[in-house]
Amino acid sequence: MSKQLQNDVIEILEETKETEKKKSRNTEFAVITYAFLTLFIVMSVYFGYYLVFQSESFINNPYNNARISNLSKSILRGKILSSDGEVLAYTETDEEGNETRVYPYENIFAHIVGYDTNGLMGAESESNFYLLRSHDSIVTRVLNDLQNKKNNGDTVITTLDTSIQEKAYAGMSDYEGAVIAIEPSTGKILCCVSKPDFDPNEIANNYESMTAEADSSFLLNRATNGLYPPGSTFKIVTALEYLNEGGHLTDEFDCNGTLSVGDSVMHCVNNKSHGHQTLLEAFGNSCNVVFAQVGMGLDRATFTSLGNQLLFNLDLPLNISNSKASSFSLTDEDTEFRVMQTSIGQGKTLVTPIHMALLASAICEDGVVYKPYMIDRVENVNGIEIKQNEPESYGNIMTSVQANELQELMRYVVTDGTAGALDTDEYTVYGKTGSAEYTTDKDNTHSWFVGYAKKGEKEIAIAVVLEGAGSGSKHAVPLAKKVFDAYF
């Protein structure tokens, strides 16, 4: 091999080594680059997620007062509107810069719109995050910042309808209790009234004297957090369990007005004897004797698990915060009389009005529940849309076959039973009345109506409870009619 050739070979070998080194250096570089890129993407996603979701729940937490008062230093709290465009809450600023939250409807929307001081409540609490952000135009915001002026918070438009709310409020007159109406196909809360009530305009200045009174339960939203014996409205659940266990609407029974077990006696209203009747007729007449007989024949364990399926004993699927859980169960330890009482909605069972409205809403939707909500959308101060909430399905709580049977029962109550006053050509009503005893004196009863009404595509589900008002057909039914009339 010539000297020259030797040199060439050495050179080629060295070049190859160099290239390989470069290659491996390139690979190392690529690995590091990808590692950093991945880290960057992960962190961006994390911070993006934090900003979009975590900060929302962080600011929206009503107990996070420090953060809220900080935001309210730079933002003028936004307005809360009804679905029909009426102002339910706004902030007034006087010449000295003092701010007052004003509630033009005073007591009418007290619990559901709530207040923004002393711990936040209702829509003021649910939408706190939106009311304390501003999506006003950048130019306006820059100009405000330069002049040290506050920016206008965004406007929150609720699902609440003023005409329905006003009718429900007036219809309750001086009775304590609750009325709540929901749009079954979406879960939109259309009205929500609770009494006794209060004027939210007074809360900021008079909170302590108002809550110092012995009975300060007027702050409780009875529609979501009031627990009541359901009375005969519970026959909806008893009837469904009976049908599940192989019973039929045409099965026949006898009522002679009373039913005794040991020393305990159960009566139909006014000791009335309903005589020979089918299950459908007994439901329409709200016959206690037949439903107590039916209840005694039911399997306690499957009855209880049907209750769980219908959202008893658990937190309701709501897109509003804070409601109490209804309770219902039967065990082998319960006496026969307790089973009879439970089957007609007495006994230990307790329900919230919103739960009963949700049950009616599911029956209307062939078994599907849409989670109730009250924040429809958010706009900036100039009416430009920032966020639109969509209906959210929770899924079926009963099959469509089960729902159809309950529809037939509840329709019969209106055409041939205790809710005859709701039989109109204007719209079609399905429901169940109830008179729930809450003391040993049988004359003291809460007046209930639970049901829904349809006309074409329009649907509304409702629960009405009037404390100590007597029979359901006497007081709760006419009130439900006022709400339906206002809606249709």
The residues binding Zn ion (CB under 5 A) are: 255, 268, 274, 287, 289
**Which residue number, 364 or 413, has a Cβ lying nearer to Zn ion?**
413
**Which residue number, 239 or 289, has a Cβ lying nearer to Zn ion?**
289
**Which residue number, 106 or 416, has a Cβ lying nearer to Zn ion?**
416
**Please, what is the minimum distance in Å from the beta carbon of residue 289 to Zn ion?**
4
**Which residue number, 304 or 445, has a Cβ lying nearer to Zn ion?**
445
**Please, what is the minimum distance in Å from the beta carbon of residue 391 to Zn ion?**
40
How many residues would you count in the chain?
Answer: 488
**Please, what is the minimum distance in Å from the beta carbon of residue 468 to Zn ion?**
24
Q: How far apart are CA 120 and CA 77, in angstroms?
A: 13
**Please, what is the minimum distance in Å from the beta carbon of residue 290 to Zn ion?**
6
Q: How far apart are CA 139 and CA 136, in angstroms?
A: 8
**Please, what is the minimum distance in Å from the beta carbon of residue 404 to Zn ion?**
26
**Please, what is the minimum distance in Å from the beta carbon of residue 246 to Zn ion?**
23
Angle at 460 between CA 230 and CA 355, to 5 degrees: 30
Query: Residue 200: exposed, middle, or buried by beta-carbon count in 10 A (0-12, 13-18, 19+)?
Result: buried
State which amino acid sits at residue 363. Answer: I
**Which residue number, 289 or 375, has a Cβ lying nearer to Zn ion?**
289
For residues 59 and 129, is the Cβ–Cβ distance under 8 A? Answer: yes
**Which residue number, 75 or 409, has a Cβ lying nearer to Zn ion?**
409
**Which residue number, 188 or 274, has a Cβ lying nearer to Zn ion?**
274
Q: How far apart are CA 318 and CA 52, in angstroms?
A: 21
3-state secondary structure at position 384: coil
Residue 436, sorted as left (phi over 0), alpha (psi -120 to 50) or beta, turns out to be beta
State which amino acid sits at residue 259. Answer: L
Residue 305's DSSP bridge partners are none
First to last CA, the chain: 106
DSSP string, 167-184: HHHHHHTT--EEEEEE-T
**Which residue number, 151 or 341, has a Cβ lying nearer to Zn ion?**
341
Angle at 147 between CA 141 and CA 148, to 5 degrees: 85
Closest CA to 182 of 233, 284, 124, 112: 112
Residue 386, sorted as left (phi over 0), alpha (psi -120 to 50) or beta, turns out to be alpha
